[in-house]
Structure 1
C-alpha cells in the first residue's frame, strides 16, 4: 500500500537532515577552509600560533567541517606534465654494482689477474681483467651477483645481462629488468612528488601517471608553475662521497669510477670524488631546518641504523681525510673528518637562507627522486579565471534548476512542486556526499551536476505518467498513485543502471576531467533515485493524509 511506516518517514527525513548538515559548511567556505588549514598547520608543526587559534575558533569544532574541494580550473593553481628520465637509473645501478663486482673479482685475482673499470656508455659496466684466458671465470663470478627479476612479466629471468669478450666483461640490465625498473622508477617518483607536495600542506593535488614515463601534476591554490617546479623539480639527491683531490680544472682527467663536481659555494673550485658514495639520502630518517654555530641557516639530518653504522665505520677509518657532501651533483661542503661520527647525525650548512633551508629539509625528508624529470608542459591558472569559472558554473546551475522547476510545475501542477523540491534536495545531497568524501569539484563536475538536475526529474516523469494512465483507467486516487509508483519502478531502475554502467566506464578508463564528471554523475544517480522514489512519495503521502482528495487532475 501507499502508506509509509513512521520509522521509514523518520529515516527519510533524517537522511535529508544529515545531508543539509554536511552540505552547510560550503555556505561558509572561507571560514571553514581557514579552520581546517589551521588544524592541519598545528598538527604538522606542533605549534599553536595566535593566527591558527583565531582561524580555528571561527568555526565550531562540533560542526561538520568537510568541504567540496575546488579543482585547479575553479581555484587557480599550477599544472605540470613531467617526463621521468628512467635511463638515469640504469647508470646508477651499474655504479652501485661496481664496488661489489670489484670485490668479488679481486678475491680471485690469483686466477683472473688485475681488475680495472674502463669508460663505458651510460647504463653499462665494462671491466678489464689482465688474464683474458679466464674471462669465462669472470663471467661466472659476475653472474653470481645476479638476482631474479621481481616482476610477473619477467619471472624466471635474471636482472643482469652479462657478456665476456677478449679480456673485457660487459654488464648491463636485462630487458626484463629494464621494464620492471622503468615501472618502479615512475611509481617511486609519483610517491615522492606526492610526499613533497603534501609536506607544504597544499589542498587536493592531482598527481597521476600518464603513459609509460610521464607524470601529470596539478596543484590548486599554489602561486605559479615556477613555484611548483622549485618544490618538485629538484632531484634532491644527497650523497656523501670520499674526496680524491681538490682543484680548479673542471676538465681534470680522472680514473674510471671517479667524477669531477663543482663546489656550490666556492666559485671555480672543483672536487674529484669517488663516484660510489659512502651513504646516500636514502639512509636518512629525518631532516629539519636549523642554524649552525654562526647563526646561519642550515639543515640538521639523522641517519637510520644502517646508514649510521656505515657512516661511523667510514669516519672512524678516515680521520684527517676530507669527505664531500654532494647535493644534485654539486659539492655543498667538504669538511675534514676530525673524529669518528658514530651518532648518525650531522649538519649541512652553506650559502642558504631560511626559505632554502626549509625547502631542502622538505626535499630530503620526502626522499630523492630516483631520476631526473623534464617538464614538457607547464601552465599557471590565475585565481581570477577560477572565480570566473565558479560564477559561470553557479549561473548555469541556477538557470538549469529554474528551467526544470518551471517546466515541472507547468506540466504537473502541485506534483511538479513536489518533484522540484526533490530536485533541489538532490543537489544538496550531492554536495553533502562530495563534502564527506573530500571529493574535488571541477568544471566537468559542475557539468555533471547540471546534467543531474536535468535528468533527476526523469524518474518523477515516469511515475507521474504512469499515475495518469492509472487514473484514465478509472482507478481511485490512492490506488492510482500506489500502482503508478510500483509499475514505474522497473523502468527507473533499468534507466539508472545503464547510466551507472556508462559512468563507471568513464571513471575507470578516463582521467582528469572525465573522472570528475563521472564522480558527480554517479553520486547524482544515487541521490536522484532516492529523492524521486522516497522523498517524492513521502511528500505525496503527507499531502494525501492532509487533503484526502477524492479526485486528482494530473
Structure 2
C-alpha cells in the first residue's frame, strides 16, 4: 500500500506543478503581471465595447441573382436565343429573375438553358406566352443567408484580430435574427474599431453608362424617366474634392470585394495615400476582357466607377487593358488608406450591416467588479474552510487542501486554454467551491455512518468513499450537462460561467475523490490499528 500511496502522491504533486505553471507561465515583470498575462479578463471586468450588429442578408441574395442575370444572358446568347430580356422587375423580390421576349422558335433552346444544372437552385415556371420566372428555392435562400452570416462573422473576426484586440468575442447573437455579438475587452479607441466594423468595405467596379448628373431628377429626365432594370443610380464625388454627383452604372459589377487577393496602402506619384490591389486569377482575366473591350482606342470606349460603401469614390476612363493589379486613389488620409487596405485584405463583407446596440463599459466598473468578485470569492472560501475545520475537525484540513488544489487546477486550466474570466465566471468559481464542499460532506458523513456502525477507521474510509462515489458522480454529471447546454446556447458571459463551472466540476471530481482519499490513506498509515479518526 505504501508504494501505491507514494505513486498517487507523486501524481498529485505533478498535477499541482503543471497547473501552477498554467497560472503564472514563465515569470516576467513580476508574479502579478505574469498572472495577468495568463488569465485574460472579459469585457465586464476589463472594460471595452459591446456591439450587436444586424447583417442585411437580403443584399447577398440580390447580389447572387444579379450575377445570375448576367450569366443567364450570356448562356442564352450562346444557345442562339437572341432578343430575350433578362432582369429583375420587383425590388421587393430579389430572389426572382424574369425572362421575357423569347422567340417562339427558340423556346426549346431557352428551356434547355433554364432547366440546366447551372440553374438548379431555381424553380422555373414558364407561361404559355414563353415568359419564364426563375425563383431561387427556399432552401438555397436559407443556405445563402446562413453562409452570409457566417462569412460576416469570420470577416469581422479577422479584421479585429488584425487590430490586435485581445480575446474578442465575435459570434451569432439572438435566435435566427441574423445578428452578431461583438465584445472587445480593453479597447482604448472604440470609435476606430466601430468604424472598421461598420464599414462594409463592399468595394466594386462598375461600368458607367451615364452621368454625371446634378440631381436624381435630371438623371431620370436624361433617361426618359425610367432607369433600365440592369442599371442603377449611385451618388458620389467621382474624384477628390468634387461635389456630390450622380452616375448611372451597370448594376452587375465587373469586379467586387471578394475578387481581391491582396491590398496594401501606398502613395501615388504625388505622394498622396492610395491603395494598391491585386485580383484573383479568374477576376483578373474577367477584368482584362472588360477593360480591353472598352479602352479609349476601342470601338466602344468607356469609363468605370469605383464604388465603396454604395458611393462612387472615383470615375476614370479606361486608357489601357488592366489584368490583375491596379490602384485606388481618392481623398484618403493615411489612416483611412491603412484601414481600407486592411478591410480588402481580410475580405469584403458579403452584405452591409447596421447597429442594433452599442454599449461602452468603463474600466472603473471593471475594477470594481474585479474587487467585489475577488472579495466574494475569498470570503466565501474562507467561510467554507472555517466551517469544515470546526465541523469535521482533522478531516476538515483534508477538505480545505482539496478545495485549494481545486482552485489551482481551475485557474491553471484557464491559463493554458486562454479562457476569458468574466464576472459570471467568478460566480462559476464560487459555485465550484460549493460543489466541492458538497462532495466532501457526502464522503465525510458516509464515513461517520460507517464508524457509528462499529467499523474500523480504515474500513469506514474505504466504505465511505465507495458508497458516496455514485452520488457524487450523479450530481456532477447532471450539473456538467447543464453547463454544456449553457455553453452551446449561451453567449458572452454566460459561456464564461459555463466553462468555469464545467471544468471546476471535473477538477472537483479529481480532488474530492483522489486527493482526499490519498490524504486519508496517508493519515491512516501513520496511525496505530484501531486508533480513532478525527472526523
TM-score range, shorter chain: 0.7 to 0.9
Q: Name the structure 2 match of 1:7.
A: 7
Secondary structure of 2:171 counterpart: strand
The 8 Å contact of residues 83 and 376 in structure 1, kept in 2 or not, is answered as yes
Q: Name the structure 1 match of 2:67.
A: 96
How do 1:93-492 residues align onto structure 2 when only pairs under 5 Å count?
93-107=64-78, 113=83, 115=85, 117=87, 119-122=89-92, 123=94, 124-129=96-101, 131=103, 138=110, 141-144=113-116, 146-148=118-120, 158-164=121-127, 166=129, 168-209=131-172, 210-212=174-176, 213-223=178-188, 226-251=191-216, 252=219, 253=223, 254-264=227-237, 265=240, 266-320=242-296, 321-342=302-323, 344-492=324-472
Seen in structure 2, the aligned counterparts of structure 1 residues 2 and 409 have a Cα distance that, compared at 3 Å, is farther
Shift of 1:250: 3.5
Seen in structure 2, the aligned counterparts of structure 1 residues 106 and 483 have a Cα distance that, compared at 3 Å, is closer
Structure 1 alignment gaps of length 5 or more: 34-58, 149-157
The 8 Å contact of residues 66 and 438 in structure 1, kept in 2 or not, is answered as no
Seen in structure 2, the aligned counterparts of structure 1 residues 538 and 117 have a Cα distance that, compared at 3 Å, is closer
TM-score, with length taken from structure 2? 0.87
Secondary structure of 2:368 counterpart: helix
Seen in structure 2, the aligned counterparts of structure 1 residues 118 and 402 have a Cα distance that, compared at 3 Å, is closer
The 8 Å contact of residues 138 and 169 in structure 1, kept in 2 or not, is answered as no
Q: Deviations over 1:363-389 (max 9, x none)?
A: 111212212222222211111111211
> Relative to structure 2, which stretch is displaced further, 200-209 or 398-407?
200-209
Q: Name the structure 2 match of 1:39.
A: none
Seen in structure 2, the aligned counterparts of structure 1 residues 25 and 130 have a Cα distance that, compared at 3 Å, is closer
Out of 517, 520, 533, the position equivalent to 2:500 is 520
Distance in 2 (alpha carbons) for counterparts of 1:130 and 1:465: 87
Distance in 2 (alpha carbons) for counterparts of 1:8 and 1:300: 63
TM-score, with length taken from structure 1? 0.84
Q: Name the structure 1 match of 2:299.
A: none
Structure 2 alignment gaps of length 5 or more: 297-301
Shift of 1:18: 1.1
Seen in structure 2, the aligned counterparts of structure 1 residues 231 and 290 have a Cα distance that, compared at 3 Å, is same
Shift of 1:161: 4.2
Distance in 2 (alpha carbons) for counterparts of 1:336 and 1:383: 52
The 8 Å contact of residues 239 and 327 in structure 1, kept in 2 or not, is answered as yes
RMSD over aligned CA atoms reads 2.9
